[in-house]
């Protein structure tokens, strides 16, 4: 099922917006105009990734500084640790999430 979660101009490149979809918090990232969505919870200790800093396509967890590639979900230095990812589609400036 697809959910309208934002409008493209709400999230500038290099920024994140946390949205709620079916009771789950999802971090929605704009990386140079491409949108990616992951779980908002860091798999290490549940830190809020939407509050983390973005460095290119990497988000750094604000609690313990674990870094994740938002495009692949992989943890830097431990690729076996991955974020849950969601499919994002942008159509007519509307950002849709499949969950």
At 48 the pLDDT is 98
For residues 84 and 64, give the distance between their C-alpha atoms in angstroms, rounded to a whole number: 19
Question: CB 85: neighbour CB atoms within 10 A?
Answer: 15
For residues 92 and 73, give the distance between their C-alpha atoms in angstroms, rounded to a whole number: 26
Residues lower than pLDDT 50 in the chain: none
pTM: 0.94
The CATH number linked to 14 is 2.102.10.10
At 5 the pLDDT is 97
Q: 39 exposed, middle or buried (CB, 10 Å; 0-12, 13-18, 19+)?
A: buried
- Domain containing residue 59: 2-98
């Amino acid at each position: 099922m697809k959910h309208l979660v934002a409008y493209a101009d709400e999230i500038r490149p290099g920024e994140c917006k946390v949205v709620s979809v079916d009771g789950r918090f999802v971090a929605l990232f704009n990386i140079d105009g491409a949108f990616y969505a992951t779980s908002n919870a860091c798999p290490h200790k549940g830190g809020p990734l939407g509050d983390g800093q973005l460095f290119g396509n990497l988000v750094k967890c604000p609690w313990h500084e674990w870094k994740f590639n938002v495009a692949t979900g992989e943890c830097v230095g431990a690729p076996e640790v991955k974020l849950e990812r969601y499919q994002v589609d942008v159509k007519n400036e509307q950002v849709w999430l499949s969950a």
